[in-house]
Amino acid sequence: MSLKIALKNYFILFLPAITIMLFMPATSFSADIGNCLLCHKYPGISRVDEEGKLKLFYVNEDIFNNSVHAKVKCDGCHTDIKEIPHKHAIKVDCLVECHIIEPASKKKFSHKDVQTFINKSVHGVIDNKGKEKKFKEDFPTCKSCHDNPLYRPISFFKRVRPGISEQSLGRCRVCHKSEDFIYRSYNHVTTRLHPLNIAGVCAKCHNDLALVTRHGLSTKAVYSYGETFHGKAASFLDERIPNCLDCHVSKGESVHQMLTHKDPNASTSEQNKGKICTTIDCHPSASPKLAKYGVHSEFNLTQSPAQYFFTVFFIVLTGGTLLPLMVIIFLDIVRRFFPNASIGGRK
């Protein structure tokens, strides 16, 4: 390990804990997580399993308390862990009914509905004829897209930026008295992943060449997103830039209901595409023709010839002028070093 990386590690060791503590309001809250953290708060609690993979049983308490599941008790998800020592745990079922009561319906809460949205989407394993799709192990489950989501509130007050808007909180405080309640509600409603992290979720599969070709998709979608203006702006941490979901999910639908662009109902279908660009938040005055812009154009002659030639032209122009220039400067310097050198008697 190089010194640089080592130093970085050293630094990171304590940075998160401190920043999170600073970020958390004075009235710190935490789920009554029984005694699980007695052992699981220790970062070294780990072993190597039979396949040689690292099993890390550590749960970072500060980060957990800042996650959307902070109020869920450990055994709300790990329902089979009842005794100590515990045996090999069964995998957590994300659709389990938990002890939280959904305030509107007063029923026990569950994520079951999300699964029905996924089943209806392009990521569902069963196609519309009721048959299992090919390569069904390629399709995502909750856990292939989500780790424990962290609160990441967005302030919309005057500008869009990550973080909490104090002015908004002032308005909440008019009616609500519990700071903890206000803090959590604000987070709950406004939390959004950063466009880059959403792309990261999709990249696990949509940048995997083998998977992309197995399913007859035409682009490494996250890579090609990154090549366009949208992706470039996202990498400068712009909040207003469209992420994958802004284009691939019809307004008002669950983010899980993404459809193939061949489906006429899809937001990305040939006939609907224009509407994505011209929404009020994006390019309201643009003509629907803007949708001809290749949002996933790869650097590929057959797929997007115009972009291809354009790029090649500029590459040749830049490289073709700058490289010879540099070589000439280099030779010039060499000459200054050996002002009297000669080849074959010529000077």
How far is 93 from 143, CA to CA, in rounded Å? 10
At its nearest, how many Å lie between ligand HEC and the CB of residue 303?
A: 9
Rounded Cα gap, residues 339 and 347, in angstroms? 9
Question: Scanning residues 131 to 160, which ones bind ligand HEC (CB under 6 A)?
Answer: 133, 138-140, 142-146
Find the binder of other proteins among 36, 63, 125, 290 (CB under 8 A).
Answer: 63
Of 112, 36, 30, 29, residue with least CA distance to 75 = 36
Contact between 347 and other proteins by CB under 8 A: the answer reads no
Strands in 82-172 per DSSP E? 154-155, 161-162
* 67 interacts with, out of other proteins, ligand HEC, none, CB within 5 to 8 A per kind: other proteins
- Residue (224 or 267) nearer to other proteins, CB: 224
Complex with other proteins: residue 67 or 79, whichever CB lies closer: 67
> Among 43, 264, 288, 305, which residue interacts with other proteins (rule: CB under 8 A)?
43
Q: Between 60 and 272, whose beta carbon lies closer to other proteins?
A: 60
Enumerate long-range contacts of 255-262, CB under 8 Å, 24 or more apart.
256/114, 256/117, 256/118, 256/121, 256/123, 257/117, 257/118, 257/120, 257/121, 258/121, 258/122, 258/123, 259/121, 259/122, 260/122
282 binds, among ligand HEC, other proteins, none (CB under 5 to 8 A by kind): none
Q: Which one of 158-166, 180-188, 210-218, 332-340 is the stretch in contact with ligand HEC (CB under 6 A)?
A: 210-218
Interacting residues with ligand HEC between 258 and 317 (CB under 6 A):
258, 260-261, 268, 273, 276, 294-296
